């Protein structure tokens, strides 16, 4: 892991982005913003999942008219997504929005852009300035568009990144001329490798905070691979101050996966249990996949970062479960439960789920009372005796340490 690069820090409704602040998780509602109750409900669901900042679309005045009521009920800061109508930005700022998402290239009148920047300056409202692969090429000036397309045809990847950086430089001149620095940058593409190259280039060129994202990521099944490949690479290199993983699905999935990514890289402390499990193989004699799914669902009620391991045999399990606060080694007919390396219970297969959950609840309660500490990967587990097969025979001999 490369140490986080230091950037200019902005304040989004109390959530600090950049500098030495933790990487913030963002998402976006999929409701019509003017439907206040539905929008507030989705914002609350996102906040409960771990979202720090949420963006809402405001293409119409009825959307900005709804903002005061939404802001009053929202548990987290809100960003207004503005594209073509500068009036929506001014209305959102007057409503008390915490941040504006603006693309100056979509607003052709420079005076209108200046008015938005002046209003943000007066209200202390930061702005995210973004360039996307799909919109960075000029659309109205035919000669300029032809020239850009010719350059892209010669070396598409390198030229696209250069064009994105050049476009941001043009945008930022406007902000410099207005003496406005509370800006966050994004450079999005559908191609994970272009995303990596673009943000690497931006991190070398600008000292402003970077909003990481991959656009058009698709459904979670494929989108999480594309997103983690690019955003995980950048975060591991110390690049990125806030992140949104985008899916064509319930945005709660975006938050859950972003949170797991940050926890996995050590960029965010867990606040809920961590579940690890061994891969399935021919040695397993229980429905491990179902057991893991059931355990995961039950653990959602616990708000302490207990590390829980579910193992299907004693071959690799002890090594894979080391560091677990609570672990179970499951075999045909019975399972053995460990709590911080000590065997505590042997239970029947029918009792596994409830017994494991009870041990997790008890351990979490003791942590909260200060009686024990979380393991932090310091627990060594001695292998249990081999679990018998269904016919009573022992599958292998385990040598204890």
Specify whether 319 is located in the same domain as 210.
no
Asked if the structure places residue 46 within a domain, the reply is yes
Asked if the structure places residue 230 within a domain, the reply is yes
Strand 242-244: give its sheet, edge to edge.
183-188, 127-132, 99-102, 78-81, 53-57, 24-28, 242-244, 211-213
Q: List Cα–Cα distances, 285 to 201, 382, 398, in angstroms.
A: 51, 21, 18
Specify whether 224 is located in the same domain as 347.
no
- Rounded to 10 deg, the angle between the 110-123 and 86-95 helix axes is 10
| CA pair distance 313, 394, nearest whole angstrom | 12
Residue 245: Cβ within 10 Å count:
28
What's the confidence (pLDDT) of residue 397?
40
Nearest CA-CA partner of 86 in 70, 63, 67, 103: 103
Nearest CA-CA partner of 188 in 152, 225, 227: 227
Sign of CA dihedral 30, 32, 36, 38: negative
Specify whether 30 is located in the same domain as 101.
yes
302 burial level (CB within 10 Å; 0-12, 13-18, 19+) = middle
Q: What is the pLDDT of residues 284-336, one digit of tens each?
A: 878 888 989 999 999 999 999 999 999 887 666 666 677 899 999 888 788 88
Specify whether 278 is located in the same domain as 177.
no
Domain boundary among 264, 288, 315: 264
Sign of CA dihedral 355, 356, 361, 364: positive
Asked if the structure places residue 90 within a domain, the reply is yes
What's the confidence (pLDDT) of residue 49?
95
Segments in the chain below pLDDT 50: 394-401
Asked if the structure places residue 385 within a domain, the reply is no
| CA pair distance 71, 50, nearest whole angstrom | 18
| CA pair distance 47, 45, nearest whole angstrom | 5
Question: Domain range for residue 296?
Answer: 274-368
- Tokens 């008890």 correspond to what residue? 362
SS3 content of the chain, % helix, strand, coil (to 5): 40, 20, 40
Specify whether 184 is located in the same domain as 287.
no
Please give the tally of structural domains in the chain. Answer: 2
| CA pair distance 219, 212, nearest whole angstrom | 18
Which CATH number covers residue 140? Answer: 3.20.20.20
Specify whether 169 is located in the same domain as 313.
no
Q: List Cα–Cα distances, 106 to 85, 110, 209, 242, in angstroms.
A: 8, 11, 22, 24
Specify whether 285 is located in the same domain as 255.
no
Residue 306: Cβ within 10 Å count:
23
Q: What is the pLDDT of residues 13-29, one digit of tens each?
A: 999 999 999 999 999 99
Specify whether 280 is located in the same domain as 189.
no
Asked if the structure places residue 214 within a domain, the reply is yes
3-state secondary structure 258-324: HHHHHHHCCCCCCCCCEEEECCCCCCCCCCHHHHHHHHHHHHCCCCCCCEEEEECCCCCHHHHCCCC
Domain boundary among 207, 241, 264: 264
Q: Model's pTM, two decimal places?
A: 0.88
Specify whether 73 is located in the same domain as 203.
yes
Asked if the structure places residue 113 within a domain, the reply is yes
Domain boundary among 219, 244, 264: 264
Which CATH number covers residue 338? Answer: 3.30.413.10
| CA pair distance 163, 309, nearest whole angstrom | 48
Specify whether 162 is located in the same domain as 285.
no
Asked if the structure places residue 289 within a domain, the reply is yes
Paired strand residues for 329: 311, 336
What is the end-to-end Cα distance of the chain in Å, rounded?
A: 33
Computed over its alpha carbons, how large is the radius of gyration of the chain?
Answer: 25
| CA pair distance 327, 295, nearest whole angstrom | 11
368 burial level (CB within 10 Å; 0-12, 13-18, 19+) = exposed
Read off the tokens for 375: 């393991």
The number of residues in the chain equals: 401
Specify whether 295 is located in the same domain as 221.
no
Read off the tokens for 83: 């594209």
Specify whether 177 is located in the same domain as 312.
no
Asked if the structure places residue 373 within a domain, the reply is no
């Amino acid at each position: 892991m490369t140490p986080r690069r230091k950037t200019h820090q902005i304040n989004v409704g109390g959530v600090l982005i950049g500098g030495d602040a933790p990487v913030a998780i963002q998402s976006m509602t999929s409701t019509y913003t003017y439907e206040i109750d539905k929008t507030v409900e989705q914002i609350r669901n996102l906040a409960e999942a771990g979202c720090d900042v949420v963006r809402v679309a405001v293409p119409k005045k009825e959307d900005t008219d709804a903002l005061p009521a939404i802001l009053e009920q929202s548990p987290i800061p809100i960003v207004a997504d503005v594209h073509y109508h500068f009036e929506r930005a001014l209305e959102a700022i007057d409503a008390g929005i915490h941040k504006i998402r603006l693309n100056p290239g979509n607003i052709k009148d420079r005076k209108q852009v200046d008015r938005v920047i002046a209003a943000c300056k007066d209200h202390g409202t930061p702005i995210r300035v973004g360039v996307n692969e799909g919109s960075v090429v000029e659309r109205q000036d035919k000669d300029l568009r032809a020239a850009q397309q010719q350059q892209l045809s010669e070396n598409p990847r390198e030229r696209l990144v250069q064009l994105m950086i050049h476009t941001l430089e043009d945008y930022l001149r406007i902000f410099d001329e207005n003496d406005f620095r509370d800006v966050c940058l994004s450079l999005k593409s559908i191609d994970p490798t272009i995303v990596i190259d673009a943000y690497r280039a931006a991190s070398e060129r600008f000292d402003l905070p970077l909003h990481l994202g991959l656009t058009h990521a698709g459904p979670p099944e494929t989108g999480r691979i594309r997103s983690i490949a690019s955003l995980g690479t950048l975060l591991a290199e110390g690049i990125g101050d806030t992140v949104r993983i985008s899916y064509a699905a319930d945005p709660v999935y975006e938050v859950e996966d972003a949170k797991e990514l940050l926890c996995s890289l050590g960029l965010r402390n867990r606040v809920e249990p961590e579940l690890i499990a061994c891969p399935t193989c021919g040695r397993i004699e229980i429905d491990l996949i179902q057991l893991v799914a059931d355990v995961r669902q039950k653990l959602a009620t616990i708000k302490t970062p207990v590390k829980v391991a579910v193992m299907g045999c004693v071959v690799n399990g002890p090594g894979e479960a080391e560091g677990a606060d609570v672990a179970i080694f499951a075999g045909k007919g019975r399972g053995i439960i460990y709590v911080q390396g000590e065997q505590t219970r042997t239970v029947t297969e029918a009792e596994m789920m409830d017994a494991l959950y009870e041990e997790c609840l008890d351990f979490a309660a003791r942590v909260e009372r200060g009686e024990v500490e979380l393991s932090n990967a310091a627990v060594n587990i001695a292998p249990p005796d081999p679990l018998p097969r269904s016919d009573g025979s022992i599958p292998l001999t385990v040598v204890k340490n």
